[in-house]
């Protein structure tokens, strides 16, 4: 029962985030929304794993978190440099 409530909450949040992603206005708003959407997906997978009693799904949640992070960074890098291969200039590397 409580897991259903959790899933409902997460699903409603995802809907709200999707509205923001569609509304924009800047590209960065959309990226922020998609990043948060990914985190919510991780929670959703974890909750579904407990509802269906198949806790192996947690591995998927972990993998999803990984891919979500790398995806966000990749999109940001692409936005900044227009290229995924370029490592940036030296000055950029010293910046934390």
Q: Interface residues with other proteins (CB under 8 A)?
A: 2-3, 5-6, 8-10, 12-17, 19-20, 26, 28-29, 31-33, 35-36, 39-40, 42-43, 46-47, 50, 55, 58-59, 61-62, 65-66, 69, 72-73, 76, 79-80, 95-96
CB 36 to other proteins: min, Å: 5
CB 8 to other proteins: min, Å: 7
CB 47 to other proteins: min, Å: 7
Q: Encode burial over 17-44: b for 16+ CB neighbours within 10 A, e otherwise.
A: beebbeeeeeeeebbebbbbbbbbbbbb
- 86 by Cβ neighbours in 10 Å (0-12 / 13-18 / 19+) ranks as exposed
**Closer by beta carbon to other proteins, 52 or else 55:** 55
List C-alpha distances in Å: 26 to 50, 79, 94: 37, 12, 28
């Amino acid at each position: 029962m409580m897991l259903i409530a959790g899933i409902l909450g997460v699903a409603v949040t995802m809907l709200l985030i999707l509205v923001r992603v569609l509304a924009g206005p800047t590209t960065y708003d959309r990226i922020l929304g998609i990043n948060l959407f990914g985190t919510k997906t991780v929670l959703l997978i974890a909750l579904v794993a407990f509802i269906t009693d198949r806790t192996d799904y947690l591995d998927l949640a972990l993998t999803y978190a990984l891919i979500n992070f790398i995806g966000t960074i990749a999109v940001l890098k692409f936005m900044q440099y227009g290229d995924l291969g370029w490592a940036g200039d030296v000055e950029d590397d010293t910046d934390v």
